[in-house]
Amino acid sequence: MNYTERLSNVTVLGAAGKMGSGILLLTALEMVDLSLKPENRGKVFVINAIDVSSEALAGLMRYIRAQALKAAEKKTVQLRAVYADRADLIDNEEIIMQYVDDVMVTIRPSVNLEVAYNSTLIFEAIKEDPELKVKLLSQLDKNNSHKPWYFTNTSSIPITQLDEKANLGGRIIGFHFYNPPAVQKLVEVIKSAHTLPEVEEFALQYAKSLRKVVVPSADFAGFVGNGHFMRDALHGIGEAEKFAKDVSLPEAIYMINKVSQDYLVRPMGIFQLIDYVGVDVCQYIMSVMNPFLKDEDLHSDFLDRLIGQGVLGGQFSDGSQKDGILKYEKGRPVAVYNPDTKKYDLISDFQASCDEKLGAMPRSIQPWKSVAFSGKSEDMLKTIFDEIKTMDTVGARLAKEYARRSKEIGLQLVADKVAFAEKDVNTVLLTGFFHAYGPINNFLD
């Protein structure tokens, strides 16, 4: 079965979720592009969008139509050539709408798992629950005579565990898209101990067709991305808890969030990032990783406490940020949750005093966007960190310790052979987390 044949009947499990919807969109576009090639004219391509909610699937179809329209508008010139033999398609609008229709007719939304029994390729993007994943993968494989290949979007569960428990015989690979899949360039590819060579070969071809940046990871819980992020988050939480001995916890959270964003030139502070992923999601990922760790305990009582009080963060279906550790207005933090009072404390009430405690900002500091998209980020970062090295303010000390710990985490991932090279760790943080630089660097040496 060649590349095109493998993509002729596809299923996405969890298709209406924020990850599944992006995977569905990218794959549907790839399938339609294949169907429009001369050698594939007349072939039928089907992608089953499976989720538990009919209402969510209806919303998914609206999302896909809107995104397919944007995709068609960006490649109108190419589509004119593709549809050149269609005498009925005259102007650009007709061509664009034909492409959108071709995408929509390929997608079959369903709440029934049985429609996947004829698929040759199945993307799994359901809840990060090992038992649930194994249950569904086992059911699919027992009822599908085509011996399908499985691409799991897990960000933490070892692929070998899923492979062996679901008895998939190596027909599975970890293909971890980053959020949102339609925008993010990074994909972590993780082989199980049994993944068939042809499955990996197809995965790499598929990633190349989607123009993704591929970073391989060893099959160890959390892989490279969450292996770094979860430890980085725990460091930030730990620093805030230590700082809270002298100030209130909301003040400490504000200061560590500011240091991890502004001083370290990151797109968002660590507590914003936890909110973005979801407080409960972060804690769950740690719980999945923990049984595989010998000498450390990835757990936060602070996150447990927040979850117990219903503070979860995450995102709305339109991509906007829900309130979590921080409260947001127009996407910007305006308050910090206080678990003692179960209320949000306004940042404006303590910002000035906290900034004074942190001390003067480095004069050379620049916003993340100005550095990341400058074309000369290396020089700008060297100037910023050279200045931070000479400073002895509270903010500078916290920044230096945070950067040191971030580098230590990255180097440990390489030493533990989770990451195959230092550049892989840096690529994940640069591409998947949009950092302006990788954690393994010499800026503060």
Final residue before a domain boundary, out of 184, 217, 250 = 217
> Is residue 87 domain-shared with residue 52, that is, in the same domain?
yes
> Is residue 136 domain-shared with residue 243, that is, in the same domain?
no
pLDDT of residue 90: 86
CA 220 to chain centre: 17
> Is residue 235 domain-shared with residue 212, that is, in the same domain?
no
Final residue before a domain boundary, out of 217, 235, 259 = 217
pLDDT in tens, 118-153: 999 999 999 999 999 999 999 999 999 999 999 999
Strand stretches in 246-405, DSSP E: 326-329, 332-338, 343-346
> Is residue 78 domain-shared with residue 179, that is, in the same domain?
yes
pLDDT in tens, 229-241: 999 999 999 999 9
- Measured CA to CA, the distance from residue 345 to residue 325 in angstroms comes to 11
Q: Is 187 a member of any domain? A: yes
Give, to the nearest 10 degrees, the angle between helix 301-308 and helix 225-243. Answer: 90
- Measured CA to CA, the distance from residue 93 to residue 201 in angstroms comes to 38
> Is residue 323 domain-shared with residue 363, that is, in the same domain?
yes
pLDDT of residue 320: 86
- How many distinct structural domains can be found in the chain? 2
Q: Is 441 a member of any domain? A: no
> Is residue 212 domain-shared with residue 337, that is, in the same domain?
no
pLDDT in tens, 94-121: 999 999 999 999 999 999 999 999 999 9
Q: Map tokens 């020089």 to a residue.
A: 379
pLDDT of residue 232: 98
CA proximity to 104, closest of 144, 46, 174: 46
Q: Is 108 a member of any domain? A: yes
> Is residue 121 domain-shared with residue 236, that is, in the same domain?
no
Q: Is 401 a member of any domain? A: yes
Residue 396: both structure tokens together: 């500078």
Amino acid at position 5, single letter:
E
295 pLDDT above the threshold of 90: no
Range of the domain at 152: 3-217
Q: Is 443 a member of any domain? A: no
Question: For the domain that residue 314 is a member of, what is the CATH number?
Answer: 1.10.1040
> Is residue 205 domain-shared with residue 239, that is, in the same domain?
no
Per the DSSP assignment, residues forming a β-bridge with 332 are 329
pLDDT of residue 315: 87
Mean pLDDT of 434-441: 97
Q: Which value, in Å, is the radius of gyration of the alpha carbons in the chain?
A: 23
Share of the chain above pLDDT 90, in %: 95
CA 25 to chain centre: 16
Burial class for 53, CB neighbours closer than 10 Å (0-12, 13-18, 19+):
exposed
316 pLDDT above the threshold of 90: no
Mean pLDDT of 434-444: 96
pLDDT of residue 341: 97
pLDDT in tens, 323-350: 999 999 998 999 999 999 999 999 999 9
pLDDT of residue 289: 94
User: Helix, strand or coil for residue 203?
Assistant: helix
Average pLDDT, the chain: 96
Q: Is 437 a member of any domain? A: no
Of 315-319, 330-334, 337-341, 371-375, give the lowest mean pLDDT range. 315-319
Q: Is 438 a member of any domain? A: no
13 pLDDT above the threshold of 90: yes
pLDDT of residue 151: 98
Phi, psi of 115 (to 5 degrees): -70, -15
pLDDT of residue 294: 87
> Is residue 19 domain-shared with residue 53, that is, in the same domain?
yes
> Is residue 359 domain-shared with residue 263, that is, in the same domain?
yes
Do residues 189 and 34 lie in contact, with contact meaning Cβ atoms separated by under 8 Å? no
Per the DSSP assignment, residues forming a β-bridge with 149 are 121
Q: Is 440 a member of any domain? A: no
Per the DSSP assignment, residues forming a β-bridge with 346 are 335
pLDDT in tens, 32-63: 999 999 999 899 999 999 999 999 999 999 99
Burial class for 258, CB neighbours closer than 10 Å (0-12, 13-18, 19+):
buried
Final residue before a domain boundary, out of 169, 186, 217 = 217
